Amino acid sequence: MDSNSNLHFKMMAFGFKFRDFFSPRKNILKDVGIKPGYHLLDYGCGPGSYILPAADLVGKSGKIYALDIHPLAAQSVQKISSKNRLTNVKTITSDCKTGLPDSSVDVVLLYDTFHALSDPNCVLKELHRVLKPGGILSFSDHHMNEDEIVSKITGSGFFKLSKKGEKVYNFQKK
């Protein structure tokens, strides 16, 4: 990644501090249905705004995979994990493939990332592969309207809409 992209990432992280202060991420996750012991993949985790609230929900017996294309994301998530003594968070730097086993994940968070994907079909196929049967793809993207969201995600043939929350859409693996 070049210095421009590092600057862009750092500016995004700075902006998220304000977003997360005024709209705490734990409120976004309350509708998702995350339970203790769950394995959760935060796809396009960015600086890691969802890591602490997700870690609270999955507890010590759960596991969090934080994936982003940008190496600064892994650095930021590792910093959060060590500061908060989280031992169940693993970072992955990738633009699509997760390296996780088939049917191993209960919930995927795909928040404000879909619009930025260069190969969305690759990502949806990969998320479908790693989710357990009936697993949840929790989705938001403020760059897209509801019709676009539902048609793009269900149109892939991999997911059906299971719940429309206040802030996020839950899709279930077909």
Residue 64 φ then ψ, to 5°: -125, 130
- In contact, 147 and 15? CB cutoff 8 Å: no
Q: From residue 133 to residue 172, what is the string marking binding to ligand SAM with x (rule CB under 6 A)?
A: ----------------------------------------
First to last CA, the chain: 36
Residue 112, interface with ligand SAM (CB under 6 A)?
A: yes
Given 44, 74, 170, 171, the residue binding ligand SAM (CB under 6 A): 44
As a whole number of angstroms, the distance between CA 85 and CA 157 comes to: 39
**Maximum pairwise Cα distance, the chain:** 41
Q: How many residues bind ligand SAM (CB under 6 A)?
A: 18
> Which residues have CB under 8 Å from 12's CB, separation 6+?
46, 47
Residue 69, interface with ligand SAM (CB under 6 A)?
A: yes
Given 10, 35, 95, 148, the residue binding ligand SAM (CB under 6 A): 95
Given 38, 40, 49, 100, the residue binding ligand SAM (CB under 6 A): 49
Residue 116, interface with ligand SAM (CB under 6 A)?
A: yes
As a whole number of angstroms, the distance between CA 103 and CA 164 comes to: 24
Residue 124, interface with ligand SAM (CB under 6 A)?
A: no
Name the site residues for ligand SAM (rule: CB under 6 A): 16, 44-46, 49, 67-70, 73, 95-96, 111-113, 116-118
